[in-house]
Amino acid sequence: MPLRGALTVPGDKSITHRAIILSSLADGEATINNYCPGEDCLHTVAAFQAMGVPIEIAPGRLRVAGKGLWGLREPDSILDCGNSGTGIRLLAGVLAGQDFFSIVTGDASIRRRPMGRVVGPLREMGAVIAGRRGGELAPLAIVGARLRGIVFSSPIASAQVKSSVLLAGLFADGTTSVTEPAQSRDHTERLFEHLGVPVMRNGLTVSLAGQRAFAAKDVAVAGDLSAAAFFLVAALLVPESDVTITGVGVNPTRTGVLEALQEMGAHIELLNPRVQAGEPVADLRVRSAPLCGVTIGPERIPRMIDEFPILCVAAACAQGETIVSGAEELRAKESDRIAAMALELRRLGAAVEERPDGLRIMGGRPLEGAVCQSHGDHRVAMSMIVAGLAAQGETRVEDCACVATSFPGFDKKLRGLLTPSGQG
Ligand code: S3P
């Protein structure tokens, strides 16, 4: 059955984390509209509530009573970031510069993910952080310290690393500057600018002067392109579909997936372009189309890092070969996404070769329904649900509770597009 109609997706998860953090550190009250209600962001809300920031949660909006740069108080228990890499790594940057002690941790997946990438530069700034395996793994115990600005050259293009160091830089003496090997998402920089905090950008370097207080300002969060991507691919794959997703963020540091799908033969229209809290937004209209394979090398990875699971589904249904290389970072996400997608797509009959730094997918074999696993990873779960739509026969994806980390109500939205009235 085709997917038809219009829908919205939740607010962008990356922007929501940053809006909660910066609104908590601002002077005065602000409303965050269209926030991402996924569990990841609610953990960040709870962390700041535990540090004395009043945050009121209502449907579609958060009201944050900012405490100012130096207004957080010592939490009386461990801060739990759940499944969120962004939450724990950005929080570590904030906590490093406080005058109190804190411990941050998360679920089993978070406790396996690398933390040394933020702990290293934060220690260089003077942070006192202990953690398992010398600080490589959470829980992290952070004794707040007086920080100094550093000039940091990050070995990886990671917005979490960049943002963690810049957030620590807010509390540091002097200027903090971060250079990355390729441009990662720039939501932190844009939100600082929206709030009137000067950031200097020079090519791949971002700098920020520390210890400047700033005033609260409302934030309207753009719809999450990473969430929209599941519907884009579903509509492309199911014949006779025609779907419009309204109010989606199209920040150029995130739109690699649109370019890749267009290269594969998709026609995605960007309608009503506008700007929301410093972020470009548009309505995306997509209709089903035959797809062909694509080659994606390392230079394109950062701008579409979260869309590989769903891109693999598109590739399995496309004619010809898709090759992804230089994508070893995918192994350090909520799950090992290279191994997980190779295994799960094979269950449906796709021809997938797993490589150390990517995948080779020989597309075009008809997919057959099967029982699949989510690997506890929200994006793997949603990708396999979409693959199930494209497959012949029934597909069951097990262990889908993780979808709520970013997209509560995903299944309802999808079913809405499959009903004849087509209201998602
Ligand atoms: C994010 C950055 C990316 C991305 C993650 C969200 C962010 O991670 O995969 O889902 O909000 O800064 P890395 O910084 O590890 O690349």
pLDDT in tens, 121-148: 999 999 999 999 999 999 999 999 999 9
Spatial contact of 96 and 129, defined as CB atoms under 8 Å apart: yes
Can you tell me the distance from the alpha carbon of 390 to that of 239, in angstroms, rounded to the nearest whole number?
A: 9
Q: For the chain, what is the mean pLDDT? A: 97
Spatial contact of 173 and 191, defined as CB atoms under 8 Å apart: no
Among 158, 165, 166, the mutation site with the greatest number of ligand 1 atoms within 8 A of its Cβ is: 158
For residue 209, report the distance from its CA to the centre of ligand 1, in Å: 24
| Residues known to be catalytic | 306
Among 13, 14, 162, 303, the mutation site with the greatest number of ligand 1 atoms within 8 A of its Cβ is: 14
Closest ligand 1 atom, residue 161 Cα: 14
Which residue's C-alpha comes closest to atom 4 of ligand 1? 306
Q: pTM for this one?
A: 0.98
Spatial contact of 199 and 208, defined as CB atoms under 8 Å apart: yes
Can the peptide bond before residue 302 be classed as cis, meaning omega within 30 degrees of 0? no
For residue 69, report the distance from its CA to the centre of ligand 1, in Å: 24
Which residue's C-alpha comes closest to atom 10 of ligand 1? 306
Given pLDDT bands bounded at 50, 70 and 90, which one contains residue 421?
low
Looking up tokens 């295994």, which residue turns up?
343
Containing 236, the helix (H) or strand (E) segment is helix 225-237
Q: Where are the alpha helices (DSSP H) in 360-402?
A: 378-390
Closest ligand 1 atom, residue 305 Cα: 9
Both tokens of 342, joined, read 């190779």
For residue 158, report the distance from its CA to the centre of ligand 1, in Å: 6
Chain centroid offset of residue 88 CA: 13
Looking up tokens 């903090």, which residue turns up?
176
Can you tell me the distance from the alpha carbon of 399 to that of 402, in angstroms, rounded to the nearest whole number?
A: 7
Question: Each residue of 253-282: pLDDT tens digit?
Answer: 999 999 999 999 999 999 999 999 999 999
Give the pLDDT confidence score for residue 419 in this predicted structure: 78
Question: Each residue of 24-55: pLDDT tens digit?
Answer: 999 999 999 999 999 999 999 999 999 999 99
Which residue's C-alpha comes closest to atom 11 of ligand 1? 14
User: Structural domains in the chain?
Assistant: 4-8+223-417 (3.65.10.10), 13-220 (3.65.10.10)
Can you tell me the distance from the alpha carbon of 341 to that of 360, in angstroms, rounded to the nearest whole number?
A: 11
Given pLDDT bands bounded at 50, 70 and 90, which one contains residue 369?
very high
Ligand 1 binding residues, C-beta < 6 A: 14, 86, 158-160, 163, 185, 305-306
For residue 85, report the distance from its CA to the centre of ligand 1, in Å: 7
For residue 309, report the distance from its CA to the centre of ligand 1, in Å: 15
Among 110, 112, 185, the mutation site with the greatest number of ligand 1 atoms within 8 A of its Cβ is: 185
